[in-house]
Amino acid sequence: MLFNLSFLRIIASYLILMCAFEKRFMKTITLKLEDAVFVETEEITSQLKMPRNDYINEAVQIYNTLNKRRILEKQLAKESSLTIKDSIEVLHEFEKLMDEYETV
């Protein structure tokens, strides 16, 4: 299949932009892993035919999501415990009103 020159230029421009995009929005870090974790990661990424970087990025995203949920759970539990006292007080007030209404 033959490609015309303008199509190849468009593809080349796209690839250059993608490389620039990746470099612009990616951070380089140094990571120390336990040997067993590294070996297991290498085995899995090899079987999945997935770059190690993509695998670690996906794992961190999943772990971030999990921890955000845990943080939200704790926050909701804390806020719920703060409102329970007020809810009980309101319930008692309604019960008093109902008792007064029934005696009338």
The pLDDT tens digits of the residues spanning 38-52 come to 999 999 999 999 999
Query: What is the Cα–Cα distance from 8 to 62, expressed in whole angstroms?
Result: 38
Q: Band the pLDDT of 88: cuts 50, 70, 90.
A: confident
Give the count of beta carbons closer than 10 Å to the beta carbon of residue 19.
10
Q: Which residue has the higher pLDDT, 86 or 56?
A: 56
Rounded average pLDDT over 22-27: 68
Rounded average pLDDT over 1-11: 65
pLDDT score of 104 more than 70: no
Query: What is the Cα–Cα distance from 52 to 65, expressed in whole angstroms?
Result: 20
Q: Which residue has the higher pLDDT, 71 or 101?
A: 71
